Structure 1
Amino acid sequence: MASTTIVLIPKVDSAQRWRDFRPISLCNVSYKIISKLMAQRMASVLGKVISPAQSGFVPGRLISDNVLMAQELDHKLNYHIRGGNLILKLDMAKAYDRVQWGVLFRVMAAFGFSETVIAFIRRCVTSSWFSVLVNGQLSGFFRSQRGLRQGDPISPFLFILAAELFSRGIEALFAAYPGMAYATGCDMRVSHLAYADDVVIFLNGSLDCVRRGKDFLDRYEAQSGQAINAEKSSFFPSRRISDRRRQQIAEITGFGLGERPMLYLGVPIISGNKRTVHFAPLLAKIQRKFQGWNLSRLSHGGRLMLIQSVLISLPVYLLQVIQPPLEVLRKLEGVFASFFWSSVGHDRKVHWVAWRDICRPKQEGGLGIRRLSEVGVALSMKLWFRFREQCTQWARFLRRSYCGTVDPGMVTLRSNASPSWRRMIQTRAVAERQIGWIIGQGHLSFWHDRWMERGPLSEWCTVQGPPDVRVDRFLVDGSWSQEILQRVLPPSVAEEVTEVHLRPEEEDVMVWRPTRDGRFTTRSAWEVYRTAHQREDVAIVTWSRLLLPTISVFIWRFFRRRLPVDEVLQQRGVCLVSRCQCCEAVESWEHLFYGSPVAGEVWGHFGHLFGVGSWRVLERWRAGTAWSSTGSVREIIPLLIFWFLWTARNDSKHRGLRPEGQKIIRQITQYLRVGMASGIIKPMHWRGDISAAQAMVIQVRIRTLHTISAVHWRRPDDGWFKLNTDGSSRGNPGESSYGAIVRDHSGQVVVARQGVLGEGSNIRAELMAILRGLELCVDRQLSPIWLESDSLVALHIIGSSGISWELREEILRIRRLVRQYGVRCTHIYREGNAAADFLAN
């Protein structure tokens, strides 16, 4: 179980030395199961013991947190302070391999991990045997005396625990010598940032501070076994530091003067104007991706998948933390468009559809790619949302630097603001409209935060008194004070405010209104910002799961007449002699896909198989309408005909193979057979067309199981009361109502109630029906209760841990009543819930 294979992965091109390789440990499956379980348990406590400066591998912390914090501190590099500011960027040599086991176990003990846990970790770490994979052959079988295996699920967590020795040590150093602090003009001091082995130190640039910092690093190396690679480490001084002192800093530290912009975690830290040249490495990285792909063998479907899964992700990482110039985004999208249309290098091809039209959802006629500029705005909204959460170090730093006690929604932009803050302010108005609050202790802005459905009070009332007053000023003993409210609000508005539910025993909760659970998603932010277009019904069949992606892309082009048919090329100004590949006629769109002898033979064959006259099929598809159903073979047959007619035409034009109707028929039949064998096409997709499948010698077995079950209402046990509820919404959302009926063990009605709920959705009506029914039972002191509802969704919501922010109060009240009174909840079919259904409707 402890045997491990080491694979050497080159870190640079043309690796020649051992240090140019990264050793990755391939642990066996049995060990990784144990290690993964330990890692999952350890993850739950890391946030409590790891300092905020470390963002790597801690649940809830992101790699972007450190980049954003580094950008803010770099923006303050030239802040006027005696000694000037200084940044040290450290490169830890083979950091994982140098972890001393004794140091790790002592750190764990200091954090309070039990001896049992430490002993278990010790057995995992120290029992390893290694073999090195060289040229496909295993060499050696040896043990190690230190280090953590890269590839072991628990290694990242153990590494940041050991690295906490550095974090706690440098914090203690800065606490002992306050003069070492990096000056920012903010009362929040940051000494360092660490993401695994990427460490940056921020300190004062005086020689005394530099010497103290270097002494600390020397002591840390001696105690921990780590080693700082001075050749790859660098320092970035304030412009207030003279050339002579820069030379002295280099002599003290042994580091070289860093080149601007500083590269941290793959992101250029740019303090001034961003220029296109700063993003040249990103463009070069994408070009290197092209070199590794055989572009001539990639279909349009394959290119689309590579753009969506690989190429787009490269700039998106940067967009999370930096806003590139629009020129850079246009260049990137130009590269993507050229790749999609096979126009790479000197091989220039026609871009048949504009990139702006490609970058739409598939349902709106695009290919499901997003514009980088729109993604950038969505990610800016994410920054604002995470800033408002105040859960990260950089968010708290920005709040103290730019807001102070002023509400973030009212802060004006300063001239010396950082690029990140400027970017966030640009999208503040859009983001704030989507942020809602659920009042807990009331530490919210009374006027400017949106804790009412209608919006912030400042948008529809005149602000009276201090504009930064908090909600808790209007609460007395955890409830609204009508008297205090009416001092600043009209009576009608004050009455409306008192209807807002309070939970003073809990923290205030911020929610992202576009999502049901209130959690921020980039997709929802993108949907809020982008301009929506009209949906296209034909997209349903174009992107059918029964079609290969390449065929879907072709059909997408087909419906836009963006194919190099002779007729289309002539319309675009290309002079050529047009001739059909199977007859003497001119190659027009209609002739190629509908009227040629080959096309007529294929349409007639499948029209006969599926019992549809060929002329009816042709007329329907000439009109550009899609089949009303989805997910059937009958639906995709016309699309396959178009595809194989097109491939036959291309084979004839470029390879000299004459089109034959029977060959195309065999190709379509073979596609269906392979689809059945691979599971893409299932028996259910042949419903109604079994005879066609039999004619093509395709075996289809559709198992239809008819289960008949008696549905009736069942009496509760002696002493129990059964509550049946139902909710109804006319329009979903629309006017809704509910019904609730309680019966005893003899089936006699104890109490029944119906009511109107106003406008809402079906699920809200079902949940409100359950809540009203439970409250009815509590008022009548009916217990124990057996709850029956015909809504599986509502019962699942009650029993799950998730919660919808729109129905948060109702769900929490239902769960509280269910726990308090031991309510039994079950599902019943609508036929057995007739009484409650009658009351609701």
Structure 2
Amino acid sequence: MMILLMLIFLNVDSQYVHCRVHFHELHEIILITVVYGANEVSTRRDLWQGLIELAETVGNEPWLVGGDFNAVLDMSEVCGASGDIRVAMNEFNECILQTGLLSLPMQGERFTWHNCSLDGRSLWKRLDRLLANDVWMDRWPNMYYSCLTPRTSDHSPLVLKGDCRNLQVSLFRFDNYLALSPGFLDSVHSIWRHPIVGTRMYSVTRKLKALKPVFRQQRRCKGDLAMNVKLAADFLEVAQNILQLDRHNSLLLLLEHCCRIVYLKASKLEQVMLRQRAKMQWLKGGDQCSRVFFRRVATRRANKRVFQISDDNGNEQTDPTIINNIFVDFFQGLLGGDRIDRAMDLQYLRPWARHILTDDEARTIIRPVTSDEVKTAFFDIEEDKAPGPDGFSSGFFKAAWPVVGEEVSKAIRDFFKTGRLLKQLNATLLTLIPKVRNPQSVAEFRPISCCNVIYKVITKILVSRIREILDHLISPSQNAFVPGRLISDNVLLAQELFSGYNQCRLPPRCALKVDLRKAYDTVEWDFLFATLRMFGFPAVFIGWIKECVTSAHYSVVVNGGVHGFFAGARGLRQGDPMSPYLFVLVMEVLHMILQQFIEQDGEFRYHWRCQDMNLFQLSFADDLLLFCKADMRSVNLFCRGLDLFATLSGLQTNPQKSQLIISKAASGLRESLLAALGFQEGHLPVRYLGLPLISARLSVTDCQSLLQKIDSRIKGWEGIQLSFAGRVQLIKSVLTSFEVYWATAFILPKGIINEMIKRFRTFLWKGTSSSGYPKVAWETVCRPIEEGALVRLRDCSIWTVKDNKGAWGWRKMLSLRHTLMSHIHYRVGRGDSISLWHDPWHPLGPLITRFPRGPQMTRIGILDKLSIVIKEGQWNWPLITDIACVEITHVLPPISEGPDKISWKAKDGSFNTSRAYEIFHPPGPKINHGLTIMAGFAFCARMESLRHMTTFSSHALIPAVASQVSDSRSHFHGPTETGQHGVQWAASRWRGKHVVNAAFRSLLASLVYHIWQERNSRCFQQRSRPPSIVGMLVVEEIRQRIISVPLRHSICSLGLFRLWKIPWPVEGYST
């Protein structure tokens, strides 16, 4: 087929050619830029600047940019020895950030250029690529490019492929924006009121199915939301232009107001839709830029596209039908197949169990389920979470709860009475998440299970029961998903055990970093149920879990389509709320098996410093570390334990990814130990739970991965599109979480902290990684808005540990203990966990500090517990005759029932990082500047600068604003001086949650902002506006802000609209 096209050259440069291509028969116009980047970094800067300028002229046309950029995006695109390319790499990233281009999906060889060297200095790079703007990605989401073999060239050719048609998938998805429609509940009620013969669970599934065509029709009636927003914006612009011709015409004012309401409603619907599809849970109310969500949707869609895959024979397959079959066959073989019931009994392991459920505990977890439990479980699920095969999100059930709540609740409670679950409710969609860039095989995808919301509610109720007793069942060496245990505990302890691995003078030791192949997916169900019986779970509870696990059926989502339908035969679904907790119970059996072997063997040698704690294992879900002395017998014992566990549970060790880490003192045994295990040799630092395990002091080099994570978020597309409020939310919710996670395990080097602050500060004020002068000092930004637990190791007291021993991070933490001592409260109970002499339980502090000769004078041992002087809940001190120690018994704290408790000195007794932060950064003077981010920004932006505005009177703004607000004298009556006194008066006058006061706080912020803007305009641009014009802009800004906030119909809301001379919106506006 011949296609006629017209090519128009728009811009020709030495490094690129920019042209417009017009396909006559297809009625399509696209922009294409072909790139050939210069070799020199300085010359390539002209290319980057040229592309940025072209991006400003593209508009809403699809734009494709491709060719040889002569630069890479990150070091993973380089293979071989290369010079320092960080500057070139950063400039390329900055160009892509500024142009808003996205990478098209790529298939084939990762590296596109080779230096063709034969002398051992071969170098491969990915210099060639295709990029596209978001308009292109939306119009042709199925397009990708393939990298062919280079043949005689040093560059590989790139071929653009894919179906140009935007194929729509018929898979039903409930869009949460439909719940904002005024007739939503009526639509649901029209279906839900019809009785259906059958069980309640069957009735619910039939009614949900009947609602799908109703919502499909409503979605068609809404049309293209993006187009609706564009049309509404155009109408609003026309109405506002007409209004400027006659500002006092009441009809034109009403027309402009109605157009604004339509635009706000259309933009809100689009935003809810994009937020649901973008899956950006961290961005809650901080940003309203739909472009951010749209680009996230386009990126997610592109990353999940599969255009070619290798089959079992290594052949590349590109036919869509064959690709679909390859995925279905793989996961059916992994999760499905013929299930054979095996009679398995693990009762012989009970002597090594930490705890067996008592009769009272068993009765507690099978108590009747209440309607409140069901409702709480529904409302705990995020509205934007991906739904299951039925397509209904939790947002639907929350919005329709007044209509569907009672019947759905009864259907779920019926499950806990009958123990039967419909197959439709337990159907599962397997969505594929790439583990690596450009995956080539099915094994390089991680299957995430999308379960129906009703099923999730059932398992969340089961999880709530399991969590009540999990801490008693799981040994201290496991910290995953156990209430009250932290992931940082594992890292800290592992860090301590690896201390000194690089020294020859210490005892020989080793550690096994075990990787389990397809951990969740290969758990044998019979082993799981045997584990539950061994721990003493009641038969009814096991029956509930068995029904949930064994009735699972799977379909695989490939390129947006649903393929296959097969029953499961093994595995725990990643995405099922219950799976992590069941997996922790499964892994506890491994601990019991190893414990049995160690006790029965008698020749096992513990890792240095581990025997007293009986410590040989650390695990967090499937992240497993085993420790022992470096000798063949101990390592072989671990091998036998892992082999037995694999036979029973189905969890096989992966030798290719497992590592043996040997201390320097045991280097002579390296070869024999590696041969016995078949593992790879590991070297410190190794990655464990996302953090480096090191044997010495943490260096700046060890923290580079932390900076890379932060850079990947800052330099991504989100930063350039987010507003100031959105960037604040990203820093608070995402970026600082990286820092906090590392800080829970390490004392970060000062250089790394400074680098992070530099990145956060620049990103906050500029939205990019480029440097610039910040408007407010970072110390001021980090203060609260109103101002502008230590772990005990076995029987060793934290207060007695010498601070010159152990890992570097541990010593740094010990140096802070005296600072923290006054902030910790001891509640004395039985006294069996408190050191009498060393712990600060007494009002006088640690007794050994105040009375150094106390143990001798009282004849109480220096290592004795406080329980030695407690009898039947009362103090029982021996007679103290030494006058120097008599003071001990004068001021004794009260004794409480139950165990001892250590808490943080706070209202609720719990520790968090913000309270610890206040210890080292005492609160400053409080500044009342309202609730808005703009208010904080405005007041920090130097209020005293108002004094320098000699040509502009800020006093004139007050009458200008007051003249446009009804009945405003009571709100504006106050001090007339500018500066801090006026701000403090206004903030105190307009405090509280009343909507009127909130509006005036926004007014205060807007006033300061526009005064500051006017000052800058007059100082630097020699442009000025009269106070009346500035006042009109301020009032109009507040009016738009009020209209954009969803308000219920109430007397307060009516009063607010009347005060600001805003007509009450049309019916159905409030949400």
TM-score by length of 1: 0.67
Cα deviation, residue 479, structure 1: 3.6
**DSSP-derived class of the 2:465 partner:** helix
Which of 611, 619, 628 is matched with 2:969 structurally? Answer: 611
The residue aligned with 1:355 is 778
Match of 1:531 among 897, 914, 922: 922
Distance 1:534 1:207, change over 3 A: same
Equivalent position to 1:517, from 904, 908, 925: 908
2:730 aligned with 1:306: yes
CA offsets per residue over residues 182-217 of structure 1, 9 Å max, x none?
331452232221111111111233334434433433
The aligned residue for residue 188 of structure 1 is: 613
Moved more, 64-73 or 462-471: 462-471
Please give the alpha-carbon distance, in whole angstroms, between the structure 2 residues aligned to 1:655 and 1:122.
73
Cα distance in 2 for partners of 1:483, 1:146 equals: 63
The one-letter code of the counterpart of 2:774 is: H
Instruction: Determine the structure 1 residue equivalent to 2:641.
Output: 216
Contact 1:261/1:268, CA 8 A, preserved across alignment: yes
C-alpha distance in 2, partners of 1:262/1:332? 23
| 1:338, distance to aligned residue in structure 2 (A) | 1.5
Residue 685 to residue 459, structure 1, CA distance change in 2 (3 Å): farther
Matches within 5 A, 1:234-253: 234-242=659-667, 245-253=669-677
Identify the residue that residue 88 of structure 2 maps to in structure 1: none
Work out whether residues 935 and 1004 of structure 2, in 8 Å CA contact, stay in contact via their aligned partners in 1.
no
Q: Is the 8 A contact 1:192 1:201 kept in 2?
A: yes
Q: Describe the shift of the 1:625–1:114 C-alpha distance in structure 2 as closer, same or farther (beyond 3 A).
A: closer
* Pair 1:496 & 2:890 matched: yes
Residues 609 and 692, structure 1, Cα contact 8 Å, conserved in 2: no
> SS where residue 336 of structure 1 aligns?
helix
Aligned counterpart in structure 2 of residue 364 of structure 1, from 777, 781, 787: 787
Give the CA deviation at 1:75. 1.8
The code of the aligned residue for 2:791 comes to R
SS at match of 1:180: coil
Would you say the 8 A contact 1:603–1:614 is kept in 2? no
Alignment match of 1:386 (pick from 791, 804, 818): 791
* Equivalent in the alignment of 1:508: 900
Contact 1:301 1:551 in 2 (8 A): no
Q: CA deviation at 1:267?
A: 0.9
1:665 to 1026, 1032, 1038: 1032
1:170 to 585, 589, 594: 594
Deviations 1:377-416 (A, max 9, x none): xxxxx3xx222xxxxxxx22xx5xxx4xxx54244334x4
Q: 1:698 to 1:48 in 2, by over 3 A?
A: same
- The Cα shift of 1:343 comes to 7.0
**Structure 2 Cα separation of the partners of residues 623 and 638 of structure 1:** 13
Given the superposition, is the C-alpha separation of residues 323 and 103 from structure 1 closer, same or farther in structure 2, using an over 3 Å criterion?
Answer: same
2:840 counterpart (416, 440, 450): 450
Letter in 2 for 1:610: S
Cα pair 2:715 2:768 within 8 Å, conserved: no
Q: 1:468 to 1:229 in 2, by over 3 A?
A: closer
Q: Please report how far the alpha carbon of residue 452 of structure 1 lies from its aligned counterpart in structure 2 after TM superposition.
A: 4.0
Which of 16, 26, 29 is 2:440 aligned to?
16
Letter in 2 for 1:357: T
Cα displacement (A) at 1:106: 1.5
Could you tell me whether the CA contact under 8 Å between 2:965 and 2:1060 is conserved in 1? no
For 2:470, which of 40, 46, 57 is the aligned residue?
46
Determine if the alignment matches structure 1 residue 594 to structure 2 residue 954. Answer: yes
Task: Tell me, yes or no, if the aligned pair for 1:593 and 1:645 is still in contact at 8 Å.
Answer: no
2:654 paired residue among 215, 224, 229: 229
In the alignment, does 2:464 pair up with 1:58?
no
Query: Residues 235 and 256 of structure 1 are in contact (CA less than 8 Å); yes or no, is this contact kept in structure 2?
Result: yes
Quote the RMSD (CA, aligned, Å).
Answer: 3.7
Q: Who is 1:32 aligned against?
A: 456
In the alignment, is the contact (CA less than 8 A) between 1:338 and 1:351 conserved in 2? yes
Corresponding residue number in structure 2 for 1:556: 940
User: Which digits, 9 at most, give the CA deviation of each residue in 1:217-252, with x for residues without a partner?
Assistant: 333323322222222211111112336x42333333
- Structure 1 residues 679-758: aligned runs within 5 Å: 679=1046, 693=1059, 695-697=1061-1063
Describe the SS at the equivalent of 2:615.
coil
Q: Deviations over 1:471-520 (max 9, x none)?
A: 445456654457714545566x466336x4334x63333232x2123332
Are the structure 2 counterparts of residues 462 and 275 from structure 1 closer, same or farther at C-alpha, using a change threshold of 3 Å? closer
In structure 2, C-alpha distance between the alignment counterparts of 1:82 and 1:495, rounded to whole Å: 45
Residue 3 of structure 1: how far off its partner (Å): 1.0
Q: Distance in 1 between matches of 2:866 and 2:647?
A: 54
| Partner of residue 760, structure 1 | none
Give the residue type in structure 2 aligned to 1:307: I
Contact 2:873 2:895 in 1 (8 A): yes
The alignment partner of 2:449 has SS state of: strand
Matched, 1:198 2:623: yes
2:1045 to 678, 682, 691: 678
Which segments of 5 or more consecutive residues in structure 1 lack a partner in the other structure? 366-381, 388-394, 568-587, 701-841
- Residue in 2 that maps onto 1:89: 513
Which position in structure 2 is the counterpart of 1:417? 806
Post-superposition offset of 1:179: 3.5
Deviations 1:296-334 (A, max 9, x none): 333322222211111111011011111121111111111
Find the counterpart in structure 1 of residue 561 from structure 2. 137
Tell me the distance in 1 between the aligned counterparts of 2:907 and 2:1029.
53
How far the C-alpha of 1:123 sits from its partner, in A, is 1.0
Moved more, 229-238 or 313-322: 229-238
Name 2:826's counterpart in structure 1: 437
Q: Per-residue deviation at 1:552?
A: 3.5
Report SS of the residue matched to 1:183: coil
User: Aligned partners of 1:134 and 1:213: how far apart in 2?
Assistant: 40
Cα distance in 1 for partners of 2:471, 2:494 equals 21
Query: Structure 2: how far apart are the matches of 1:122 and 1:421?
Result: 44
Contact 1:299/1:550 (8 A) holds in 2: no
Q: Partner amino acid for 2:764?
A: F
- Structure 1 pair 591–656 and aligned structure 2 pair: CA distance change class (3 A): closer
Amino acid in the other structure paired with 1:619: E
Equivalent pair of 1:181/1:191 in contact (CA under 8 Å): no
The answer to whether the 8 Å contact 1:56/1:196 transfers is: yes
Alignment partners' CA distance in 2, 1:183 and 1:506: 35
1:94: how far off?
Answer: 1.1
Quote how far apart the aligned CAs of 1:173 are.
Answer: 2.2
Q: What letter matches 2:954 in structure 1?
A: Y
The letter for the 1-side match of 2:487 is: I
Pick the aligned partner of 2:817 from 428, 437, 454.
428
Q: For residues 70 and 97 of structure 1, what CA distance do their matches in structure 2 show? A: 27
Structure 1 residues 60-84: Cα deviation after superposition (integer angstroms, max 9, x where no partner): 2221222122112212646879993
Query: Structure 1's 411 and 259: CA in aligned 2 closer, same or farther, altered over 3 A?
Result: closer
CA 1:696–1:678 in 2, change beyond 3 Å: closer, same or farther? closer
CA deviation after TM superposition for structure 1 residue 450, in Å = 3.4
Q: Distance in 2 between matches of 1:672 and 1:589?
A: 27
- Contact 1:8–1:24 (CA under 8 A) maintained in structure 2: yes
How far off is 1:557 after superposition?
1.8
2:799 aligned counterpart, secondary structure: helix
C-alpha deviation, 1:602, in angstroms: 3.6
Could you tell me how far 1:592 is from its partner in structure 2? 5.3
One-letter amino acid matched to 1:386: V
Q: TM-score, normalised by structure 2?
A: 0.54
Superposed CA deviations along residues 748-792 of structure 1, whole A, max 9, x for unmatched, are xxxxxxxxxxxxxxxxxxxxxxxxxxxxxxxxxxxxxxxxxxxxx
Alpha-carbon displacement from aligned partner over 1:269-289 (angstroms, at most 9, x marks no partner): 111122101010110111111
Q: Which amino acid aligns with 2:890?
A: E
CA distance in 2, matches of 1:683, 1:650: 41
